[in-house]
């Protein structure tokens, strides 16, 4: 009888354990499956994102073009600095130059009582164009469209009536440094006359794109391959107009902001973006998310740190770096030394790094070039697990539910 009782107790315990185990599996399945369904589009996009076989680094520098002639000396010095740094294939560092095609002629505007533009194609700007073309021929500069203007002319003049800093900027002589305008005013794809900003009409967007494409053609004889939205505020209508015009790739910060909020900051995130996704008009998205601004105190080691972090995720490192580091009121002569030291540190710590232009990067992603991209299932699965753990909201949920553990196991596959 005692043996039977003991066996019965163990049978009941085993049944309870079995039900407990089934319950745990179901609970975990629910905790893991339901939120995963919520994030399914982002998780799928990260899975489709290309995986690079080797580290890639591109310097992306914005805000150059129509403006003060002090840019000439800065561009010449950068040309010389970049030409002296080459990767293991002998290719020089490429700095993409985000170009603004016209700026306000402040003196003429005051005299005329209305907006007067100074185009990059004007004879007064010829020295800037010449050094840009010299750098492009040498392979150290790659020219990209940053915008017709770095503001909306109507918004700029309207803001001057209510913002003393804008009014003071407009009272200056000669072409001004647009970096000194309030950040919201520097957006050209939303109406910042009031904040929160107002959307532009489709005809206004299309007319603006047509004007900047025509201005680019008159200077360089072709459609720009790559566009970089000013202040990273733009809309699907802008993408569509660029795509129709023949622009192939758009550089993004990993999300689309469509407006400026009441505080002037970028607002209305309408898309999370990964490398290789397609936007409206068929444009290919690339993500720029490494920041290197020597004038803001960034150290020389920051560049290699960013490249290594992106390489661990199978991603290229597109490095944001603005004109203000090298010329204008915020520039510092130490910026050149910091950049030189950063490139030396990069080659020492990442000897297999590759240099190329953003347009070339977009082309090899578009054609799925397996010389650069790893298409093996095991490698892609391991990189995917590493990437999704880095996603802010999904990663936090994975840690809370224990899903981070199986993701770590997948991550260790390669």
Burial of 294 (C-beta count, 10 Å sphere; 0-12/13-18/19+): buried
Q: Does 69 score more than 80 pLDDT?
A: yes
Q: Which long-range contacts (CB under 8 A, 24 or more apart) does 72-78 make?
A: 72/127, 72/128, 72/131, 73/327, 74/323, 74/326, 74/327, 74/331, 75/128, 75/131, 75/132, 75/135, 75/141, 76/131, 77/326, 77/336, 78/135, 78/140, 78/326, 78/336
DSSP for residue 328? S
pLDDT of residue 395: 62
The residue to which tokens 């072709």 are assigned: 222
| Average per-residue pLDDT for the chain | 90
Least confident of 28-37, 302-311, 360-369: 28-37
Q: Please state whether 246 falls in left (phi above 0), alpha (psi between -120 and 50) or beta.
A: left
Q: Quick: pLDDT tens for 270-321.
A: 999 999 999 999 999 999 999 999 999 999 999 999 999 999 999 999 999 9
- Res 10: pLDDT: 41
CB 62 within 8 A of CB 322: yes
Q: Rounded CA gap, 369 and 46, in Å?
A: 18
């Amino acid at each position: 009888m005692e043996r039977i009782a003991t066996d019965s107790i163990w049978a009941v315990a085993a049944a309870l354990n079995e039900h407990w185990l089934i319950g745990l599996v179901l609970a975990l399945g629910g905790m893991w499956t339901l939120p995963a369904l919520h994030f399914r589009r982002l998780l799928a996009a990260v899975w489709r994102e290309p995986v690079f076989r080797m580290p890639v680094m591109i310097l992306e520098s914005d805000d150059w073009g129509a403006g003060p002639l002090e840019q000439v000396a800065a561009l010449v010095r950068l040309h010389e600095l970049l030409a002296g740094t080459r990767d293991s294939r002998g290719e020089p560092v490429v700095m993409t130059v985000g170009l603004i095609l016209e700026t306000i002629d402040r003196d003429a505007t005051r005299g005329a009582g209305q907006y007067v533009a100074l185009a990059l194609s004007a004879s007064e700007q010829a020295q800037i164009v010449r050094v840009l073309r010299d750098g492009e021929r040498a392979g150290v500069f790659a020219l990209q469209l940053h915008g017709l203007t770095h503001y909306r002319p109507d918004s700029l003049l309207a803001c001057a009536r209510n913002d003393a800093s804008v009014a003071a900027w407009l009272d200056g002589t000669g072409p001004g440094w647009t970096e000194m305008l309030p950040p919201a005013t520097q957006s050209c794809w939303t109406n910042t006359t009031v904040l929160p900003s107002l959307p532009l009409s489709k005809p206004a967007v299309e007319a603006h794109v047509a004007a900047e494409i025509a201005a680019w053609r008159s200077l360089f004889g072709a459609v720009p391959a790559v566009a970089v939205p000013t202040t990273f505020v733009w809309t699907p209508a802008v993408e569509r107009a660029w795509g129709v015009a023949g622009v192939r790739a758009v550089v993004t910060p990993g999300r689309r902001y469509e407006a400026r909020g009441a505080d002037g900051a970028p607002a209305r995130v309408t898309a999370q973006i990964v490398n290789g996704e397609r936007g409206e008009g068929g444009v290919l998205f690339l993500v720029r998310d490494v920041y290197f601004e020597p004038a803001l105190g960034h150290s020389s080691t920051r560049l290699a740190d960013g490249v290594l972090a992106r390489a661990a995720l199978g991603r290229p490192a597109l490095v944001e770096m603005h004109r203000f580091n090298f010329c204008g009121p915020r520039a510092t002569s130490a910026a050149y030394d910091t950049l030189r030291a950063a490139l030396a540190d990069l080659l020492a710590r990442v000897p297999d790094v590759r240099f190329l232009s953003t347009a070339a990067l977009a082309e090899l992603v578009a054609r799925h070039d397996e010389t650069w991209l790893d298409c093996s299932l095991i490698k892609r699965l391991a990189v995917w697990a590493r990437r999704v753990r880095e996603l802010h909201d999904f990663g936090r949920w994975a840690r809370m539910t224990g899903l981070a553990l199986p993701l770590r196991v997948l991550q260790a596959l390669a």
